[in-house]
Structure 1
């Protein structure tokens, strides 16, 4: 017979279940109103494929029946793999009459929840993620004395928070409990595409430095109850993640998990995406289309800000993040490639230049303040001596659909992200349409101009000016100080980034803009703020025209020699062009190697020895003059450094400092799958009071 359970989507917003009706009443992760009807078929499967029929799971085994004790009362329990349920009913008539009494023994040590009514008659096995035999340690038996089986499932604690729910069914038979455990676990593994083996990188010193204790007492027991094999590695130095992922065999793992703060997430994402490009032979620096990550990424937040996990889950609860990984809830996310002038590539989600970069530089200075260092850094950056605008030149390719009138936040089952995933990227502008000058090409004659202009239909737009902050957001960037995000209407997977340009304005107006991050008002609704949806951005800092500084490394003789050399090279190129015009053929050109032979003969000659006179001895006056010049030069260099610090800032890439200023940033649509299901549309936000801005 066929089961009512349908095949789970491989890569969807709502995880495992696509049933339209919740007959068992178990609280699900996704609201039925916003549940998507189709999955993203363009993404690969990240979990092991199990043998399934086209319509569902076919079971030929008979129903198992036994008597278990639940909350001190006897129940007839039926394990029906055909229906995919575990049903129970009280044995005594008095138990049936006690309708007001709940099965309080199902939630050991926890307060009763609204989901208890759903487990009065049974539970659907599709909601379970683990089953274990509970044993009592004894001296005679190594395994211990069998007490029963424990069913593990989840329930909703809040709109965006989940917790584990356990149901304990007592029975003394070791053979019976082991058989039930094997059958239930086999059904769970065959009915769902969930990870079975994970590679976990955890940073024990992130945030409150409780990562090791939390992993041992909370996270690892959850994975163990779900039957997931965990290969855990502690991050011991800054290059550890990069080296480990470079030699990792992705076929051995169903998911890569990082446990830490924003720095840990940035390291894992950077190493994972670079390894993916290397395996596919993609050179992202040349403008080629990037390759997607072969395995999904799980994030267990234990840091201070955790803006990536907050943006995808609506909170920073480690248990909720672990349950998303266990159930295999995958959310596609846009990732940005960041290329420097040295052609080095790194990956990230959000990037900011200006005020946000200055705040990040002051965090190390106030590290001793603990949790108050963020407020102290913001106050320092807002002082009149530090708050300033920066000269920038920004080139960008605008997206086709700007959606200026729409202000729709990204939530679970977002229609904008689903529409973008359906059609994908239509156009990929990766290279400039600039023709290179070739002096041997006959089309470039002496009558033509040497200046080559960009074509009129170039997709690039250029803006120049003074900006107090430049932000590029691929995700909303939610934090405790900005619960709705630094960019409230940025979507997770629409193939664009929000380019937010905060122009030069008064200090009080800029503070008003910052205060709106902590309330429900639109922080970008100001005349000095411009928001553009872009696909690719090029950023270049600008220096003032009047720069009063003596360059001691400048040599007039060297400059004149380089200038004459360039003029001679241009003259030779023009002679070649004139010869082509006169002869209209390359056969009349003198291409003999006589001059080369003469040059080789001169090179073979030994240099003549130079006669050296007596060594000149400097006077004390000359030594003193040179010493004073060195002192003056050091003062000028310090003055130059101070002036440059006022004119330039640093990049804040995912709350990590990045000192290279000239960057080329390009967004890639849905390259990475992260274990999450988005923010609930019913989330209620409360205004946060920022003490540093009051």
Structure 2
């Protein structure tokens, strides 16, 4: 009886195992059918998108079924059925044509030959995104048929011409930027990509400050699709200023700023490159070049800076007080390497920290979120025009900054003005009131972190459409200032000098000395830059001097 029970139990176990295997195979088959249906649906979507070409190419060591539509290329490996007769499902590869910047016919050439040779297929040159960077990637599609290869080459070339991309650009190279590497950067990293993408160039190597401005006033801009600057923030500031002035000249509007139709591309070759980082996220020449080649554009706000009714310049950012004094000291030490020069100026200015006695007025942006300090007395500016409601604060300030872009950099990944955007029609006003040196240093250190740099009672921030800084006394600065002054004195009174002394301003990294009040107005989307809006820049080791 026990043997019969054992046989029945064994038979039941075998039957259960067979049922489990059958169920597992059924599930696998359903999953394969689902994947096959998904592939077929994707192919149907591609076909509904208007299939242009379909053919066989070899990628690596496997043959692939390649499909070309108006917007993409997809390829699926051609694989035999498994021994059980079940198809092997694989996900197709995809490349969007919007990421392809060049297509070439591949040939096998003999050594020393520059042309000719048997056809091997087509090569696609694409921009592949890796984090915030764009990198060049090459896809090789092999096919020995000359007719087949040229049919695909001509069609892909035709589709690529449908994208709005520059074909002829004016290039300005500042050979003196940073470590004098700009010419090398352009030749090694940018020129080969431009050549591959069939972007023609007209190059000017600037010889002195103001050279780009003079060339921009005279050249025939209607011949170009864009302008490219290879240099640091100073070169970018000069060229942006020149482009807006040229737009005013062409429009016959000397009073009001006019939007420049041509986009500007920035190849970073400076020490900080805040404008480039703000539209690329990295200080990388290849990334910047690929944004230009692919025609990625971003509308960007700019500011105009006025004094005594006269235009000083157009720009993106300005620093008064600590930022201006630091730059002025750095400019006196141009013989130092840039990194040491910045650290020297920073430490020296911190050691001789002084407040500025001035009247700060601002016109809040319509969508602004104001963080007002309770200890500031506010009143309406009697000089305000029309219905504009200005807010005015009077007091001692260690630093006043106004920025229409985030001003990202490797040293400050979140930017000097993290709440600002490239094209929101407003600027960030950051006013740092009088405080101790130690508290001010805490504020500066927090720029290296992700937040909290404005979480101090002596710091106020506003989103503004205009601002006015009016010094109440002529406050100067000097390298001969006594270092023995007590810290209490630096917190209570400004340094008074003779009439006519100029105040150092840091406008887009350039030192500008202005003796009177300055009016700043924001002009929405005044210029177009090649790039895209980013929230944070790629970070590097920050300054360790504070």
TM-score above 0.5: yes
Cα distance in 2, alignment partners of residues 212 and 302 from structure 1: 9
Question: 2:292 aligned to 308, 325, 344, which one?
Answer: 325
CA distance in 2, matches of 1:124, 1:483: 30
The answer as to whether partners of 2:322 and 2:398 remain within 8 angstroms in 1 is yes
Q: Tell me which of 229, 253, 262 is aligned to 2:233.
A: 262
1:197 to 155, 159, 168: 168
Q: Distance in 2 between matches of 1:121 and 1:166?
A: 14
Relative distance call for 1:283 and 1:57 in structure 2 (3 A) is farther
Deviation at 1:85, TM superposition (A): 3.8
2:354 counterpart (374, 377, 388): 388
Structure 1 partner of 2:319: 352
Q: Do residues 236 (structure 1) and 203 (structure 2) align?
A: no
Aligned counterpart in structure 2 of residue 475 of structure 1, from 388, 395, 405: 405
Instruction: Give the structure 1 partner of residue 21 of structure 2.
Output: none
Query: Helix, strand or coil for the counterpart of 1:515?
Result: helix
After superposition, the Cα gap between the structure-2 partners of 1:305 and 1:141, relative to the gap in structure 1 and judged at 3 Å, is closer
Q: CA deviation at 1:63?
A: 2.8
Matches within 5 A, 1:9-20: none
TM-score, normalised with respect to structure 2:
0.77
**Aligned residue for 2:439?**
509
Counterparts of 1:241 and 1:647, CA distance in 2: 30
Residue 374 of structure 1 is aligned with which of 315, 328, 342?
342
- Pairwise CA RMSD of aligned residues? 3.5
Q: Deviations over 1:530-549 (max 9, x none)?
A: 2222222222323279xxxx
Match of 1:536 among 466, 490, 508: 466
Paired with 2:347 and 2:500, the residues of 1 have a C-alpha distance of 17
Return the match for 1:71 from 57, 60, 79.
60
Question: Among 101, 110, 130, which residue is 1:157 paired with?
Answer: 130
Separation of aligned partners in 2, 1:645 and 1:301: 40
1:300 aligns with 2:267: yes
Kindly indicate whether the alpha-carbon contact (under 8 Å) linking 2:305 and 2:312 is maintained by their aligned counterparts in 1. yes
Aligned positions of 1:376-525 closer than 5 A: 376-383=344-351, 386-404=352-370, 433=385, 459-525=389-455
Residue 172 of structure 1 and its aligned partner are, at CA, apart by: 4.7
Give distance in 1, aligned partners of 2:174 and 2:49.
Answer: 40
Q: What secondary structure sits across from 1:659 in the alignment?
A: strand
For residues 89-137 of structure 1, give each alpha carbon's deviation from its aligned partner in whole angstroms, at most 9, with x where no partner exists. Answer: 445649999xxxxxxxxxxxxxxxxxxx97x545343432211124455
Please state if 1:280 is matched with 2:245: no
Give 2:533's aligned residue.
678
Instruction: Indicate the SS of the match to 2:310.
Output: coil
1:20-59 superposed matches below 5 A? none
Check 1:534–1:649 CA distance in 2 against 1; reply closer, same or farther (3 A cut): same
Deviations 1:237-286 (A, max 9, x none): 222211221123332222211121101101110100000111112123xx
**2:544 is the alignment partner of 1:691:** yes
Local SS of the residue matching 1:691:
coil
CA distance in 1, matches of 2:537, 2:246: 40
The structure-2 alpha-carbon separation of the partners of 1:518 and 1:656, relative to structure 1 and needing over 3 Å to count, comes to same
- Which whole-Å CA distance do the structure 2 matches of 1:201 and 1:310 have between them? 19
- Cα distance in structure 1, aligned partners of 2:309 and 2:368: 32
Separation in 1, partners of 2:328, 2:474: 23
Q: How does 1:107-256 map to 2 (within 5 A)?
A: 120-135=92-107, 138=110, 142-145=114-117, 146-158=119-131, 160-172=132-144, 176-190=148-162, 192-256=163-227
Whether contact under 8 Å (1:334, 1:672) holds in the other structure is yes
Residue 69 of structure 1 deviates from its aligned partner by 3.6
8 A Cα contact 1:515 1:690, kept in partner:
no
Q: Is the 8 A contact 1:350 1:471 kept in 2?
A: yes
Give, in whole Å, the separation in 2 of the partners of 1:521 and 1:467.
Answer: 22
Q: Please list, as runs of the form range in 1=range in 2, the aligned pairs for 1:610-621 lying within 5 A after superposition.
A: none
The answer (yes or no) to whether the contact 2:411–2:539 under 8 Å persists in 1 is no
Q: 2:371–2:460: 8 Å Cα contact kept in structure 1?
A: no
CA distance 1:511–1:122, change in 2 (3 Å): closer
| 1:375-405 superposed Cα distances (whole Å, 9 cap, x missing partner) | 121111111xx21011222333222333137
Higher alpha-carbon Rg: 1
The secondary structure found in structure 2 opposite 1:338 is strand
Aligned to 1:650: 504
State the alpha-carbon separation in 1 of the partners of residues 76 and 499 from structure 2.
74
Contact (CA 8 Å) 1:650, 1:660: kept in 2 or not?
Answer: yes
Is 1:86 matched up with 2:73? yes
| Structure 1 Cα separation of the partners of residues 123 and 111 of structure 2 | 23
Which deviates more, 293-302 or 166-175? 166-175
How far, CA to CA, are the matches of 2:394 and 2:460 in structure 1? 13
Of the three residues 299, 310, 324, the one matched with 1:343 is 310
> 2 CA distance for matches of 1:253 and 1:275?
14
Query: Aligned-pair distance for 1:339?
Result: 2.0
Q: 1:197 offset after TM fit, Å?
A: 2.2
Contact 1:519/1:686, CA 8 A, preserved across alignment: no
Give the whole-Å Cα distance in 2 for the aligned partners of 1:216 and 1:305.
21
Question: Which ranges of structure 2 fall in alignment gaps of 5 or more residues?
Answer: 1-41, 85-89, 373-380, 476-494
Deviation string 1:507-563 (CA, Å, 9 cap, x unpaired) is: 111111111111123212211122222222222323279xxxxxxxxxxxxxxxxxx
Count of residues in correspondence between the two structures? 467
Note if contact 2:408-2:537 (Cα within 8 Å) is conserved in structure 1: no
- Structure 1 Cα separation of the partners of residues 411 and 95 of structure 2: 40
Partners of 1:488 and 1:642 lie apart in 2 by 34
Structure with the higher fraction of residues in strand conformation: 2
